[in-house]
Amino acid sequence: MRDHDDVPTIIIEKDSSSGLGSFVLGALVGAGVALLLTPRTGEETQALLRERALEVKGTAEERVRDAQRQLEARLDEARAGVQTRVERVRDAVDAGREAARDARTDLEQKLETSKAAYRAGIDAARDVVTTVDDEAEAPG
């Protein structure tokens, strides 16, 4: 059972599983402590520190190169995806333009047909009126 006088403890954790900085810092601190606690001469300690620093540097550089390769691969995938989408949009726009052209051509043809029918109707009406007028004027 919990005592009421206990102060609650808050623990904050930060997940940095891929933290290169944490890795380098841990490696340096670990190497430094190991070297300082072992009985060696100053020159031996300096040589070991140099060697360990070069190892850490090499490991860090390799991790950076790996990260760069992964980033480049992801960027290439993203570029390919964007290019595919751009091509799809371009194809859709072209199809829309072609459909609009076809619709306009069809509409213009229908309009011309309607105009011709209207003119033919007017001409036929004139002919009827002229024939009726001619018959009315004819002696008969």
| pLDDT of 132 | 67
pTM of the model: 0.44
| 103-135 pLDDT tens trace | 999 999 999 999 998 898 888 888 777 776 667
Give the whole-angstrom CA distance, residue 28 versus residue 36: 12
**Cα-trace Rg, the chain:** 45
Mean pLDDT, the chain, as a whole number?
Answer: 82
SS3 per residue for 106-129? HHHHHHHHHHHHHHHHHHHHHHHH
pLDDT tens column, 31-62 = 777 766 777 777 887 888 889 889 988 998 99
Q: Give the span between the Cα atoms of 63 and 70, in whole angstroms.
A: 11
Q: What is the phi/psi pair of residue 45, to 5°? A: -65, -45
- What residues does each domain of the chain span? 20-105
> Given this model, what pLDDT does residue 49 score?
80
Q: Are 41 and 85 in contact (CB under 8 A)?
A: no
